[in-house]
Amino acid sequence: MTKQFRNNNSNISDKKGKKNFSLYIKEESARHRPPGAADVEKTEPLVILDYEDEIRIKHSAFTKFLKDSGITVKPETIIKSPRPRKYRATSKRKVFESKGKFYFLYADESYPSRNDLFRPSLLEPDEHRIIFEYLCRLFNEPGYTFLSRSMNFVIIRGSYTEFSVIFNINKINADVIKKLKNVSEKLKELEINIVSAFSYYDPTRSEYYFETERPEKEVAFKKFFGPEYLFLKYGDKKFSYHPTSFSQINESIIPLLAEKAESLLKPGKDEHFYDLYCGYGLFACNFAKSYAETTGIEASAASIKSAVINAKYFPGGERAKFLVKRITAETLEQSLSSSVKEKEVFLLDPPRNGTEKDVISVIAGRIPFKALHIFCGVDEIPAGIEEWEKCGYKLISLSPMDLFPGSPNLETLALLSR
């Protein structure tokens, strides 16, 4: 394989020269790679391994990363994903044009010099592959050229049984919308439970999509068919969320995530719970019954609307309130009650790039009883913990969860106490 593809993990050290977690993974996995596998797809470097080997590599790499970062708390055993492969509830392909052909590739790849128009993934359900392959063939038909040139991404969201297709477009006019309606109708011909189709307009051609970022303002969104909302179900729990709302990419591990967070927080009836970056209310709704008061804060109005609806179906949800606010030091000082409650508890689940400047210090200034900081990326842990420690908080435990099997990353729950 030629090296025409870029790799998101190509920057193996940060500005201070410290190794990124992906390099620790690379060093640990080198001893476990099958012979001749040096050119394996870089976007999913661990996907060819047995899952138990992958977990051992991640545990060893994580332990060494923490030690080298000066973190002395020993991490708990990694909580494994119930579905180590074909687990992604959200996936996307960027539409590239090269020599009159349209390719469905990973976002971190450059223009191809290869013949296969679509890049499959062992981390995505079979239904995603079928949908992408179908749309890739369709977009390469002569009558769809102008539409294909209007595409940024094709995104698939939903559950493991219901699927929604979202077309991210950089150009919008009557012809584009008419053709997208046609494509959406054709999707119904597939023997897959595609329940809805949407488009959203992004003339900036940004890399944004719903797994990695939470928009500061609502995007221009249009429905072609199906319900307005997507649904997450596990056990007797059911959540609705807007197609533009953030939701964890690994649906199979969400029940374990909620269970682990609750076991770490040990909610008390005399405690006041703040759920920051609350999304559609996964934690706020689940834990509302166990707290005296619950407040969820999130930048996305669509997500907050879902959280308000979801709370109605959970015990104690009537005591939960939700605020639409971009979470900065300034907005937190304005949004949180001026009178500090006797026992306040904070949960933070920010995007991969972490919290904004001084958010942690504002929270710590309220002297919360405890805090649970969920790190979406391992590389953000040292700086985050250092900031908490400067504010007088001690790291109690680190609970890694394998939300991203096949990829060089872990989701980590860090429990802190004053």
Kindly report the three-state secondary structure assignment for every residue of the chain: CCCCECCCCCCCECCCCCECHHHHHHHHHCCCCCCCCCCCCCCCCCCCCCHHHHHHHHHHHHHHHHHHCCCCCCCCCCECCCCCCCCECCEEEEEEEECCEEEEECCCECCCCCCCCECCCCCCCHHHHHHHHHHHHHHCCHHHHHHHCCEEEEEEEECCCCEEEEEEECCCCHHHHHHHHHHHHHHCCCCCCEEEEEEEECCCCCCCCCCCCCCCCCCEEEEEECCCCEEEEECCEEEEECCCCCCCCEHHHHHHHHHHHHHHHCCCCCCEEEEECCCCCHHHHHHHHHCCEEEEEECCHHHHHHHHHHHCCCCCHHHEEEEECCCCHHHHHHHCCCCCCCCEEEEECCCCCCCCCCHHHHHHCCCCCEEEEEECCHHHHHHHHHHHHHCCCEEEEEEEECCCCCCCCCEEEEEEEC
Give the pLDDT score at 35.
Answer: 59
Q: Please tell me the least confidently modeled range out of 1-5, 314-318, 373-377.
A: 1-5
Q: What is the pLDDT of residues 295-354, one digit of tens each?
A: 999 999 999 999 999 999 999 999 999 999 999 999 999 888 777 778 999 999 998 888
**Residue 38: band (very low, low, confident or very high) from pLDDT cuts 50, 70, 90:** very low
Q: Residue 107: is its pLDDT beyond 60?
A: yes
Distance of CA 212 to the CA centre of its chain: 5
Give the pLDDT score at 164.
Answer: 97
Give the pLDDT score at 216.
Answer: 53
Mean pLDDT for the chain overall: 89
* Residue 302 burial (CB count, 10 A): 22
**Residue 220: band (very low, low, confident or very high) from pLDDT cuts 50, 70, 90:** confident
* Cβ-proximal residues to 42 (8 Å cutoff; 6+ apart), any chain: 5, 7, 9
Q: Please tell me the least confidently modeled range out of 21-35, 52-66, 182-196, 361-375.
A: 21-35
**Residue 4: band (very low, low, confident or very high) from pLDDT cuts 50, 70, 90:** very low
Percent of the chain with pLDDT over 70: 89
Distance of CA 312 to the CA centre of its chain: 25
Question: How many Å apart are CA 275 and CA 285, to the nearest integer?
Answer: 10
**Residue 218: band (very low, low, confident or very high) from pLDDT cuts 50, 70, 90:** low
Contact, 281 vs 342, CB < 8 A? no
Q: How many CA atoms lie within 13 A of 136 on its CB side?
A: 24
The closest alpha carbon to 307, from 277, 278, 348, belongs to 278
Contact, 166 vs 199, CB < 8 A? yes
Question: How many Å apart are CA 307 and CA 219, to the nearest integer?
Answer: 19
| Tokens 């005399």 found at | 270
User: Between these two residues, 12 and 125, which has the higher pLDDT value?
Assistant: 125
The closest alpha carbon to 165, from 199, 191, 136, 140, belongs to 199
**Residue 115: band (very low, low, confident or very high) from pLDDT cuts 50, 70, 90:** confident
Q: Residue 81: is its pLDDT beyond 80?
A: yes
Structure tokens at 297: 């804060």
Q: Residue 110: is its pLDDT beyond 90?
A: no
Structural domains in the chain plus CATH codes: 1-86+250-418 (3.40.50.150), 91-209 (2.40.50.1070)
Give the pLDDT score at 29.
Answer: 84
